[in-house]
Structure 1
Amino acid sequence: MATLRHLLKLSRPRFWLYLAGPVVVGVAFAAERPEELFVPEALTLFAYFLLPANVLLYGVNDIFDADVDAANPKKDEKEVRYRGDRTVVAAVVVSGLLGLATFALTPSVAWPWLVGFFLLGVEYSAPPLRFKTTPFLDSLSNGLYILPGVAAYATVAGANPPLAAVVGGWLWTMGMHTFSAIPDIDPDREAGIQTTATYLGETRTYWYCALTWLLAAVAFGTLDLRLGALMLAYPVAVFGITRSDIDVERAYWWYPVLNTAVGMLLTLGGLLEVVYG
């Protein structure tokens, strides 16, 4: 039980919907009939990206960040540190193998997006590329979070989603990643890790996040003005944080709530189209 609790905590339950949520949104907008919402392929993708994919993503991160995380205070309570446990390595390998099985269940149009997820998900933390240690590449590579949703859309619709939706989603993930790196600025600098946040500093990182989220809103607005208006919640939130006394480390843990609310509204919008056309 202790091992299971450790693996669950490693998988960051608070952030599970960061991968599984885009699957729900993608399926909602891809489906043309209610029964397409629950096709086995879509349900399988949701199940995989809810837990095994998070074990893979964050397990690789913790394994290759063991030295860096030694000085990171958020590992003391909300997350866990990797201490050479072979069970963690085994869980990561099994999660990766389960991910390979998704290729057998999905059409070929979804495969490039799945390949992109696994490549970026591993190489974000692992050598030789280790994107997380290169300013701006760390941010850009976090488009990986939107790829499960794109793959799900392609699986259900049999075609790729609109390019503006992919661009908007990618920009959204860039902002989310860089915002999450703000609380790690001091620990990363102490460990000698270069990120977009350490390069820009806290104040300019806020503006970088606001810009990427504003551009995401513009991209989604080209598809539907209501989508663009909804995405404005993110730059507005940044403005509110910078103009208040809210500690960014506290605000960081609120963002899953904001993301869940926005994702729910997006999903409801897609479902209304399915039901009422």
Structure 2
Amino acid sequence: MSEEHSEREGDSTETAAVRSDPERPDASQSSLSDVAVYLFALSRPRFWLYLAGPVLVGVVYAADARADLLTPATLALFAYFLVPANVYLYGVNDVFDADVDAENPKKDEREVRYRGQRFVPVAVAASGLGLFGVVSLTDPIAWPWLAAWGLLATAYSAPPVRFKTRPVLDSLSNGLYVLPGAAAYATVAGAQPPVWPLTGGILWTMAMHTFSAIPDVEPDREAGIATTATWLGERRTLAYCFTTWALAAAAFGMADLRAGAALSLYPLLVLGIAWSDVPVDRAYWWYPAINGVVGAGLTMWGLAQIVPPSSLV
């Protein structure tokens, strides 16, 4: 085989690799399956229920009868906040954090790294516009919650606001994860959600976000990004999470002691992590499962009030 032919074959191989690698900036010719796999990873499937779960809780606790559970509005809310909303939320984050993520080890192990692929902003914008379709199916009483979610999901990562780079505000703005549940409750009940569970939910998300930022402390500091976690440091951030999760449990307890008891698991877990040798960046990956179990328990309890288990026998 001639040297020239070898070079051509090498060029051909490299071109094929470029076309099949959706993480390359010039991956416009990537197959649809490659793009779908990339967007799937970008959407953080481990965290899908962080947005869709509150919709389930909101629907269940607002419903008076079985007919309230499955409607065009509730199905649209759940479907949108299960996948498209996550593509939008994390896509905006990845696009505007490209420089920071270049040194973030999470992007090598559990997530994907945005490298300027042209299809990503298109998919993210389309996912954001999908919110208008949901709005068209929901009661106007829910629109302020949906509008607030859209604004916070954008402003959290996008300039000029970038709440994620503003200590305390980065934590507070993560109340956005509760807003789909508030919108779902308002749509089904035709009234605004009760104050105590809403307050507890916001406090819970504040703590969850700040806890999840601990593994990013060093990459964020190296990139010059200020967050609540970089500002406080690991030990004081754990204390902040303990306090905020304890307040969340108390707020839920004001609505229902059983809910407060379930949420008290979180401050206890933080104490265990703080007093043990378990690294936070390892414990962090336990939480999707823990949150799923707690959320499922709350949802099933509420569902049992509408559809008693005895009626299924």
Pick the TM interval, shorter chain. Answer: over 0.9
Decide which of 87, 90, 94 is 2:122's aligned counterpart: 90
What aligned pairs does 1:53-68 form with structure 2 within 5 A after superposition? 53-68=85-100
2:110 is matched with which residue?
78
SS in structure 2 of the partner of residue 193 of structure 1 = coil
In structure 2, distance between residues paired with 1:160 and 1:128:
31
SS in structure 2 of the partner of residue 239 of structure 1 = helix
In structure 1, distance between residues paired with 2:187 and 2:118:
35
What aligned pairs does 1:5-154 form with structure 2 within 5 A after superposition? 5-154=37-186
SS in structure 1 of the partner of residue 233 of structure 2 = helix
Structure 1 residue 155, shift from structure 2 partner = 0.7
Pairing 1:220–2:257 present: no
1:182 is matched with which residue?
214
Query: What amino acid sits opposite 1:47 in the alignment?
Result: A
Q: For CA contacts below 8 A with separation 6 or more, give which structure has more relative contact order.
A: 1
1:252 is matched with which residue?
284
Higher mean alpha-carbon deviation, 97-106 vs 66-75, is at 97-106
Name which one, 1 or 2, has greater alpha-carbon Rg.
2
Structure 1 residue 27, shift from structure 2 partner = 0.5
SS in structure 1 of the partner of residue 136 of structure 2 = helix
Structure 1 residue 274, shift from structure 2 partner = 1.4
Structure 1 residue 266, shift from structure 2 partner = 0.6
SS in structure 2 of the partner of residue 178 of structure 1 = helix
Structure 1 residue 275, shift from structure 2 partner = 2.6
| RMSD (CA atoms) | 1.0
1:200 is matched with which residue?
232
In structure 1, distance between residues paired with 2:237 and 2:40:
30
Pairing 1:231–2:263 present: yes
Kindly provide the CA deviation profile for residues 239-275 of structure 1, in whole angstroms up to 9, marking residues without a partner as x.
Answer: 1111111111111111001100110111012112213
Structure 1 residue 2, shift from structure 2 partner = 1.1
Number of residue pairs aligned between Structure 1 and Structure 2 = 277
Query: What amino acid sits opposite 2:163 in the alignment?
Result: F
Kindly provide the CA deviation profile for residues 179-218 of structure 1, in whole angstroms up to 9, marking residues without a partner as x.
Answer: 0000000000000000000000000000101111100011
State TM-score, norm by structure 1. 0.99
SS in structure 1 of the partner of residue 69 of structure 2 = helix
Query: What amino acid sits opposite 2:44 in the alignment?
Result: R
Pairing 1:170–2:234 present: no
Structure 1 residue 107, shift from structure 2 partner = 0.8
Q: Percent identity?
A: 64
Query: What amino acid sits opposite 1:49 in the alignment?
Result: F
2:13 is matched with which residue?
none
SS in structure 2 of the partner of residue 85 of structure 1 = coil
Query: What amino acid sits opposite 1:201 in the alignment?
Result: G
In structure 1, distance between residues paired with 2:197 and 2:249:
10
Structure 1 residue 81, shift from structure 2 partner = 1.0
In structure 2, distance between residues paired with 1:241 and 1:210:
11
In structure 2, distance between residues paired with 1:154 and 1:34:
17
Structure 1 residue 120, shift from structure 2 partner = 0.4
Structure 1 residue 34, shift from structure 2 partner = 1.2
Decide which of 270, 291, 294 is 1:262's aligned counterpart: 294
